[in-house]
Every structure is written in structure tokens, then in C-alpha cells.
Amino acid sequence: MSLLKHGFRRPFTALTAALAAATLSLVSGGASAPALADTPGAPGAAARAAPARAIQGATGPNVPALEKALRGLPDKDTTAALVRVGGNGSWHGSAGVRDLPSHRKALENARFRAGSTTKTVTAALVLQLAAEGRIDLDGTVQRYLPGLLTGAFQPLTVRQLLTFTSGLQPGATLGPENGEGYENRFKTLTPEAVVAASVAKGPYRGPGEGPGKKQRYDNIDYTVLGLLIEKVTGDSYAHQAAVRIFRPTGMRHTSFPVGPDPRIHGPHNRGYQKLADGRLVDATEWNMSDRRAAGDMISTTADLEKFLVALFRGKIVPQPLLDREMFTVPHIKGATMSAGLQRYDAGHGKIIWLKTGARPGYNTMLAATRDLSRTLVYSVNAVDAKGEQMNPVAERITRAAFALPAQ
């Protein structure tokens, strides 16, 4: 079995089943990453890998394995990869190309669409507001956003939104990224319209349904949380993320697009999407404004590493609240998601907490052991970033970083 990217639709029997799981959906629907076979790159591709930098100790990163994971780029699945490994020792490197027409070397400091790793930032913002007494995690959406939900909905709490247990159905989209969505990539779909479409469907119905009963990974919960943050603070979500997290943590190259701006500003590697009709298209420019608090962030591997370390050290969310909400999974059958993170048991006492993201042309992961003895951040330019299986380069990177056995 290969690493199912957002998983939850199949049982976790090995790392291959779970580490991908963070990028796709839990019980129903969502985006995933492709599990494609390794393919040698074009002649001379290895020469395009940037010189890796490593600081190793006795328990430091397995540098040969990490270098091997990046070998042969670009290939048919991946055009570039950027990796940072930290904890006990550190290593960072890159491979592949900036763009396919020129085949210039990939930029290691490139900005990229960080996808659903945005949700970890959103969860941290909500927990900060909870620590300040401005949000009650047991308070309801009906209390904080009166009129948003109809009478068809039972009371559902902020905590249930954080843990994907709200029972809300997915909202509106502009179509699959490998088809209609690509044609509509410059159109605007607001978060408000996304939520309105979900509300119009009503909640999930049937035996065992209802708030707090099942865990389903979907963007809708965090889209609502974005609206809640704005209502409680009287400020934009993007500005709250900047002043509360990005600036204090030194994430100088992380931001959100302004409105429907489809561009990635600053240095970046181009992202490509394979369409259902077989064409490979440039997907770098794409209006992601409907994702906002669920997946609209643009960042770098260095910035996400800063965020990951500061978060786990209790510098962003107070430690007791962090442990209770971000490092605790709800007691629901099959649940693996906490507030903004996913728990993966790698065996032999090794637990990895992670979040992945997928936007057309870009796969992202941030992951670490709880004690930060090993951290990983990557951005992989996958040509089927939201496909059903995990990108093979991403899987190799993850296995090498956490010393997990080969499949």
C-alpha cells in the first residue's frame, strides 16, 4: 500500500497509509496526492540539485538517504523539491528545475502555495483567542456567527470545527483542479459563498451523524473558522495571522494573496498540473481566495520550519492549551486529526505530528516528533498534487527524514 495522502478512507497499516493521510480527507471527500512510480530524470538532472547543507550529530539526519530521495529530478511526477530537516542535526537541500522551458536550477528559498498547512496557522489563531478568553472552544457557531446556520443544524462548537467533527457538508467549488477548476482558475469564489453552499445542503444526516460523532477532513470547517476569527477580532484573517504569528515568529516571507490576486510574489518555482485530458499545464497563477483560512497561505520551507518549532515549543499557543487541543485526538472511532495537526504512530514508540497541503503544482508537509528531535518541512512541485496517491518523491523524503523503513 502506498502513502494515501489525506487518508482516512483506508486503514492505516503502515507509514505509507498515514503520512499521506494528512493531505487528503478523512471519512469523506477531499484532496490527495498521487502515488506514482519512481522515474529516472533526464540526463544530467542530478547536476541540477543544489548543494545540500548538513550539520550532523550521532543521531542526525541520514544525509545519503535524503540525497537519494531527491535524485533524478525533474521526472514525470515532480519538477522540483525543497527540503529542510531539523532537530538533532540539520540538513536542507533542493533539486529539480525552476521551470520546465528553461530548466534553470530550482530556487531553494522559493515561495510556494502551502495549501492546507494553513489550517495549522488557523488552529493556532483560534487557540490564541481562546487563551485570551475571546473564544470559548465549547461555544457554538450559532453564538459567534448568528444567522450563519439554519435551524436544520444542531448546536456545533468551535472545538468541533477545529477537529473536523462538525458534521458540515463540503461547500461550493469551481470544479476539479485537473479539469473545470483549471479553466476557472481566475474566477473568484468567496469563503462566504463556499459556506452558504454548505449550509444550503444541510448537515450530514443518518444514523451516527451529528456534531462530534464522526471525523471528516474537509476545508469547510476551517473556512467557517476564518469567518469566526474575523467576527471576533473585527479584523481580517490575513492581518491577524500576520500580527499574531508571522511577525513574532520571524516568518518574513509568508503571506496571503490580496483578494483574488492569482500570483505568487517573490522568488518561486513554477507549479504544473496534469489535466484529465493528459495535458501538462502551468498552474502557478491561480486565484485561491475561496480557500483563505483553509489553504491560501504562501510561504517558504525556512518560514514553515520557524513556525513548526515555535508552535511545538509553546511560543505561539500556551503549552497547556497546546497539549490539550493540538496534541490530543478526539475520542472518535478512526480519528487521527487534532486541532490543526494529524497524529501518526510510526511504531516503536515514535509518534509523528504533521500537516500536509496540496494546491495545483505544490505539495507541502510540516512534521515533527513532539520533542522536536526530528522536524521536516518540504515543498514538492508535483504535477498531480491533489491526486489519489502520495507523490513518490514526497514519500521518499518523509521516510528518509524520519528513518522509516522502505516500503
Residues annotated as part of the active site: 116
- C-alpha cell recorded at residue 16: 505509507
Closest CA to 45 of 102, 84, 95, 90: 95
**Please, are residues 9 and 218 in contact by the beta-carbon 8 Å criterion?**
no
What radius of gyration, in Å, describes the C-alpha atoms of the chain?
20
d(CA 32, CA 15): 16
SS3 state at 62: coil
Extended strands (E) in 173-308 = 272-274, 280-282, 298-299
**Please, are residues 375 and 309 in contact by the beta-carbon 8 Å criterion?**
yes
Question: φ and ψ at 330, to 5 degrees?
Answer: -60, 150
Eight-class DSSP state of 116: G
User: Three-state SS string across 234-248, please?
Assistant: CCCHHHHHHHHHHHH
Handedness of CA 358, 359, 362, 368 (dihedral sign): negative
- C-alpha cell recorded at residue 393: 518523491
The DSSP string of 24-55 is S-SSS-------------STTGGGGSPPPEEE
Question: φ and ψ at 27, to 5 degrees?
Answer: -85, -40
d(CA 110, CA 294): 22
Question: φ and ψ at 351, to 5 degrees?
Answer: -110, 130
- C-alpha cell recorded at residue 234: 473585527
